[in-house]
Structure 1
Amino acid sequence: MPNRLDWPLVTPRARVIIDNDYSGDPDDLIQTAHHLLSPSVEIPLIVPSHLSAGDPWDPSTQQAANAEKVVRKLLSVMGVENDFTVIRGAETAIPNIDTPHDTAAARAIIAEANRTDTDLPLYYCAGAGLTDLASALLIEPTIAKRMTLVWIGGAEYPDLAQPPPGADDIEYNLRIDIPAAQVVFNSDMPIWQVPRDVYRQVLMSYAELQVSIGQHGALGRHLQDAIETVMAWTAKANFHLGETYAMGDSPLVTLTTLQSAFQPDPSSSFYVWHDRLAIRDDGSYGAKTNDKQIRVYTQIDNRLTFGDFFAKLKLYADRQ
């Protein structure tokens, strides 16, 4: 991956597969732009994935195809459209926990997991449903131990947090494909989970959006326009978002790119080890699936997350 900031002292320490539903909430554009500007990770694959059927963000039957258009537009704005591999994911959830979608995206995930020409650890960064990862696992179960899932999704754990007022019964990203989440949580894959109560903490103010993003080059303007489009859309329905926006996918960057120098780990964000629980059909947590545990993050370092992105965006714009 090209080093967009031209930092010779910073080289990749990990690989990241990005999986996101780009035809939905544009917080994924902030996360993806941030990842693309971060020279400490290689990005071998971007998977534009689907939303829930009939989702108001994109009620079409071509959600993954539309997502691909959105992420390719971002790459074009950044002038890197030929530098990254984008392979569209499946257009629908898997039908059950035994049946994968055998797609080019699933096969590409398997191929990356099975590479033997690199020792860089592999993270699967998902800010959406888990359809394509689950399909890859069902096709080739041995890849489970060859990567770590970092997932923005899932409801609050009752012993850790309470749901927000008026919360949906099933958390948004989980609802996209419950069987896929069941497959992944029943596997041996290491999981770092950022549930709803935590990704809702990652709030950026509208003033920050204007000053620290929108004023920095074509990329900054593109990202500000994407958020303001949502603000205008909801205002037409007489639903006003106020002056903050949840950049809920940004922890994908914090936890993979912004790790500590020595004993590498996302040391400034907090987590607990939690029993690995099954996902029920209604989206709630069930019994323990095995003796393994997962990391459940309880707090993300927003200062580092946003400070790093604002600085990288300015440096990138200045170079342009």
Structure 2
Amino acid sequence: MTRVPTPAETEAVRAARTWKLGETPWQVIPPIGAPRARVIVDNDFSGDPDDLYQLVHHVLSPSVDVRLVVASHLRPGDPFDPGEQQAANAAAVARDVFARMGLESADAIVEGANEPLSDRATPRPAPAVDAIIAEALRDDVATPLFYVAGGGLTDLASAWLREPRIAERLTLVWIGGGEHEGLAVPPPGAMPIEYNLLIDVAAAQVVFADSAIPVWQVPRDVYRQCLVSDAELRLRVATAGPLGRYLYDEVAEVMRAVSSYLGGAAETYALGDSPLVLLTALQSVFEPDPASSRYVARPTPAIGDDGGYVDVAGARPMRVYTWVDTRLMFEDLYLKLAEFGRWQTATDAATAAWEVTR
């Protein structure tokens, strides 16, 4: 549903004020200290626009060093993007977001595979797979590496199939998978296989059962907690400069498109990918952890072909989040958008005064 721009359209919306990843020119009071963690962002940016909010929020968060942005595919024929070049479309959308932000770091955007795994033993080649392996195997940095995924897991699974050593070098934070028995029940009319899992069931089977990658999972019942109201989006997002208006309009377009099929307009939208920011960039100062959210520790299950969980004796532990701190997560997003919007729309004189105060 997110509109895929042409290169000319992206150039037309390129912001005048520029910056690069690792810089924070919009902050009057600069951040204290260096980033505490590295992040690889993986999302299907030509799909549900909640991933645009997550991407913007992550790159506006100075506590993490965004190393790569993996543009990944949706399931074949997905209503959001039914084309055959979904990963290429996702990369075009991500570059467009960077241009709107004046962010001159498009080299961090890497294209993933356009198809799911054919089986659990054969990786899909893609530029993203090479980049994931290279970042995970770096020996010149000590900061932890989080792989944050808001869609399918094709490119991470392919990277592990190519180089299993990456399992020791990163933690997966994944928005996806169905409800766990004893913790939650599916919503009314739920898809039999959860949306993100359905993108590539085999890839999730590789990551959960075949690999030793540590997993922090945000299943469907938890990402559905991440509701914002249309009033919030109108007053806290659409008013935050041209970037905020773009983000609002992308969600509004989806709402208009589905309202006739769902019995009328709704006043809420789930920004379900935003916990990827909460669980990595918004950790506690002392004893760093996503301390304001709740999880249970469980043995990592295998995933059946039907999308269900299969117990595995002696499996490595994983985190299953049961509740996320939406107040911290969304208030931080709104304030960062407002701060960035003020800087981006400031007059030249105001910008000069801004720089003097830094």
- Normalising by structure 1, we get a TM-score of 0.97
- Give the superposition deviation at 1:236: 4.8
Q: Map 1:154-303 to 2 at 5 A.
A: 154-186=177-209, 187-237=211-261, 239-288=263-312, 290-303=314-327
CA displacement at 1:232 relative to structure 2: 1.5
Aligned equivalent of 1:57, options 52, 69, 80: 80
**Does the 8 A contact of 1:10 with 1:39 survive in 2?**
no
**1:315 matched to 2:339:** yes
Q: Secondary structure at the match of 1:211?
A: helix
Q: Could you say which residue in structure 2 is the equivalent of 1:102? A: 125
Deviation at 1:81, TM superposition (A): 3.8
Q: Aligned-pair distance for 1:235?
A: 2.9
Amino acid at match of 1:176: I
- In the TM superposition, residue 2 of structure 1 has moved relative to its aligned partner by 2.5
Mapped contact 2:95–2:106 kept (Cα < 8 A):
no
Report the equivalent of 2:22: 2
- Does structure 1 conserve the Cα–Cα contact (< 8 Å) formed by 2:299 and 2:316? yes
Deviations 1:134-159 (A, max 9, x none): 00000001111100000000000012
> What's the secondary structure of 1:288's corresponding residue?
coil
Query: Which amino acid in 2 is paired with 1:300?
Result: V
Matched to 1:255, the amino acid is L
Q: 1:197 to 1:241 in 2, by over 3 A?
A: farther
What does residue 62 of structure 2 align with? 39
Residue 82 (1) aligns with residue 102 (2): no
- Please give the per-residue CA displacement for 1:194-214, whole angstroms capped at 9, x wherever unaligned: 000000000010000010010
- For the residue of structure 2 that corresponds to 1:87, the secondary structure is strand
Counterparts of 2:260 and 2:155, CA distance in 1: 34
CA–CA separation in structure 2 for the residues paired with 1:2 and 1:113: 19
Other-structure match for 2:170: 147
Change (3 A) 1:123 1:92: same
Q: Deviations over 1:241-266 (max 9, x none)?
A: 40000000000000000000000000
Per-residue deviation at 1:84?
Answer: 5.0
Q: CA, structure 1 residues 151+261, in 2 after alignment: closer, same or farther (shift >3 Å)?
A: same
Structure 2 match to 1:48: 71
Query: Equivalent residue of 2:315, what SS?
Result: strand
Q: CA deviation at 1:71?
A: 1.0
Q: Look up the SS of the partner of 2:300 in the other structure.
A: strand
Q: Specify the SS of the correspondent of 1:17.
A: strand
Residue from 292, 309, 328 that aligns with 1:304: 328
Rg (Cα) greater in structure: 2
Distance 1:240 1:10 in 2: 48
The question of whether the paired residues in 2 share the 8 Å contact of 1:231 and 1:240 is answered with: no
Query: Pick from 5, 18, 21: which aligns with 2:41?
Result: 18
The answer for unaligned runs of 5 or more in structure 2 is 1-20, 345-358
Which runs of 5 or more residues in structure 1 are unaligned? none
Q: How many residues align?
A: 320
* SS of equivalent to 1:25: coil
Q: For residues 115 and 146 of structure 1, what CA distance do their matches in structure 2 show?
A: 9
% identical aligned pairs: 54
Which one-letter code corresponds to 1:319 in the other structure? W
Q: TM-score if structure 2 supplies the norm length? A: 0.87
* d(CA) in 2 for partners of 1:9, 1:123: 21
1:134 & 1:238 partners in 2: Cα distance? 35
Residue by residue over 1:210-242, the C-alpha shift from the partner in whole angstroms, topping out at 9 and shown as x without a partner, is 100100111101100110111121135465340
Distance 1:201 1:241 in 2: 19
The whole-number CA distance in structure 1 between the counterparts of 2:163 and 2:102 is: 35
CA-based RMSD of the aligned residues comes to 1.2
**How far off its partner does 1:9 sit?**
1.3
For 1:53, the aligned partner's letter is P
Instruction: Give, in whole Å, the separation in 2 of the partners of 1:83 and 1:246.
Output: 27
